[in-house]
Amino acid sequence: MSAALDPVSVIVAKRDGRELTGGQIAAVVDGYTRGRVADEQMSALLMAILLRGMSRREIVDWTAAMIASGSRLDLSGLRRDGHPLVAVDKHSTGGVGDKITLPLTPLIAACGLAVPQMSGRGLGHTGGTLDKLEAIPGWRADLTADRLLEQLEQVGAVICAATADLAPADRKLYALRDVTGTVPAIPLIASSIMSKKIAEGTSALVLDVKVGSGAFMTTVDDAAELARTMVDLGADAGVRTRALITDMSTPLGRSAGNAVEVAEALEVLAGGGPPDVRDLTLALAEEMLAAAGRADVDPAAVLAGGKAMDAWRALIAAQGGDPAAPLPRARHTRQVDAAASGYLAGLDALAVGHAAWELGAGRAVPGEAVSPVAGVTWHAGVGDRVHAGAPLLTLHTDHPERFERALARLDGAVTITVERPQVPGSRVLGRVE
């Protein structure tokens, strides 16, 4: 790194509220990826970005620098039965009980598209798709790039960990952000997500931007800003991108954990499942099909016809899993009864996520093992009638000593009212294109 582009000058420029040049951004991201910029220097820069923000041009340059740190997949040659396959992907910013990737990916594959769904692991109260799928006996997350392409052509869908050479700068930066209090910075969230998705090589992308107590974005304004930023980044890179802003003030579906969420996803693939999970799956499916130029396909009809379940079984088997194997179950459960009769008016998503984490469903530090059986299920949705003394929640774990900590997290999480609350008709709060 030249003297004109030394790390301190970049830190000072952003600290003082000045825009960074494309050269400064490229040099500092490349330098950090190669170990030439120290953690403490990048930490200072990340905090300056959090406090001072970035212009759209800076975010574009920062994202491009992270993509340039590794390789890019080329999905343009995908074929099935001699016909080109269009690749489309979806990304969620994360929430509690968000198992949508599990039924959505095989559903889109069953609609005739390719879905290279590179997913992550959970950290803290938000669950990770790969952790959930690893509850299935034999299933593996790590695939080579060649195997990924082969499976896309054969099955139409992959759910796997990102390959090591895909935006490696992001892995280093994400780990640093997590321990320096800089995770909530919108420019950094947007560039982290979009660098990986653009490098992934899809032609179309749909974003599910969560907002509420169980999400990273807690206000609709912040969620809309993040969605707009990411949609613009996708458009600038030639990826047809659109976003839904969805409610995460209450947890999604009726379960939060690993095996319990896989079981719920299977209910949706079988034509049932909680209405909010099914509805959001179909809403995102419609957006993905439209973004890929296949708005003529009805995902509800494909789901009802059973083809999505067939695609699920093929996807699981292709990655070493046994789709017929029973899911593991916790050795211990603890029931939480309703304290009063009335209507369930609130179930705090963050509290439920923290309880599932206490039971072993999540990790406190990267690389820590998680329990496939741990989690929380609830037996009523917001607006449902509940009765005093009847089961309301069930806690699942192999470690009964964890129950008390989980129960402490749930203190005050449930609201029961005499009058039935007004229940929104949809989790979708807005749309950005």
Query: Is residue 205 domain-shared with residue 267, that is, in the same domain?
Result: yes
User: Is 402 a residue of the active site?
Assistant: no
Query: Is residue 31 domain-shared with residue 168, that is, in the same domain?
Result: no
**Closest Cα partner for 77 from 87, 65, 63, 89?**
87
- Active site residue: 69, 89, 90, 91, which one? 91
Q: What is the largest CA-CA distance in the chain?
A: 70
Cα separation, 416 vs 397, in Å, equals 26
Q: What is the CATH number of the domain that holds 350?
A: 3.90.1170.30
**What angle do the packed helices 186-200 and 56-68 form, to 10 degrees?**
40
In a domain, 432, yes or no: no
Cα separation, 416 vs 390, in Å, equals 13
Cα atoms found within 13 Å of the Cα of residue 126, Cβ hemisphere only: 18
Q: Is 232 exposed, middle or buried (0-12, 13-18, 19+ CB in 10 A)?
A: middle
pTM: 0.93
User: Is 69 a residue of the active site?
Assistant: no
Residue 210 structure tokens: 């969560």
In a domain, 58, yes or no: no
Query: Is residue 306 domain-shared with residue 345, that is, in the same domain?
Result: no
CB 104 within 8 A of CB 285: yes
In a domain, 427, yes or no: no
In a domain, 99, yes or no: yes
Task: Residue 362: give the domain boundaries.
Answer: 332-417
- Active site residue: 131, 170, 247, 276, which one? 170
User: Is 307 a residue of the active site?
Assistant: no
In a domain, 409, yes or no: yes
pLDDT tens-place values along the chain, 433 residues long: 444 568 999 999 999 999 999 999 999 999 999 999 999 999 999 999 999 999 999 999 999 999 999 999 999 899 988 899 999 999 999 899 999 999 999 999 999 999 999 988 876 677 789 999 999 999 999 999 999 999 999 999 999 998 878 899 998 998 899 788 898 899 999 999 999 999 999 999 999 999 999 998 999 999 999 999 999 999 999 999 999 999 999 999 999 999 999 999 999 999 999 999 999 999 999 999 999 999 999 999 999 999 999 999 999 999 999 999 999 999 999 999 999 999 999 999 999 999 999 999 988 776 778 999 999 999 999 999 999 999 999 999 999 999 999 999 999 999 999 999 998 889 999 999 9
**Closest Cα partner for 153 from 71, 89, 87?**
87
User: Is 170 a residue of the active site?
Assistant: yes
- Active site residue: 121, 171, 177, 197, which one? 177
Cα separation, 385 vs 394, in Å, equals 17
Q: How many domains does the chain have?
A: 3
